[in-house]
Amino acid sequence: METTGSVTMHACVLQVNCCELLVRDLDTDQEVLVHSPKACCFSAGDHVCITYNGIMTRSIPPQINADSICRLHHC
């Protein structure tokens, strides 16, 4: 799969686990598992901006590897 650069997702954190977040994409209303070593810095309810390479697995839920995540506010 080819990508042309970074993709940004705005999401609400649903669950925090070691090195991963379960989020709800606010544009698609889809749950996505986000892999990041900084996952433990966030809390359920946080509104975040996630940047990733555009590659998403076809698993349920789909999974991505975050390049960066920043907290915007609490949902």
**2 found inside a domain:** no
Residue 44 belongs to domain spanning: 7-74
Position 24: which residue type?
Answer: R
pLDDT of residue 40: 95
Question: Mean pLDDT across the stretch 38-66?
Answer: 97
Average pLDDT score, the chain? 93
CATH of the domain at 29: 2.40.50.140
**47 found inside a domain:** yes
pTM over 0.85: yes
Q: State how far the Cα of 61 lies from the Cα of 51, in Å rounded to an integer.
A: 18
- What pLDDT band is residue 37 in, cutting at 50, 70 and 90? very high
String of DSSP letters for 7-72: EEEEEEEEEEETTEEEEEETTT--EEEEE-TTGGG--TTEEEEEEE-S---SSSS-EEEEEEEEEE
- What pLDDT band is residue 1 in, cutting at 50, 70 and 90? very low
**1 found inside a domain:** no
pLDDT top residue among 73 and 12: 12
In total, how many domains does the chain have?
A: 1
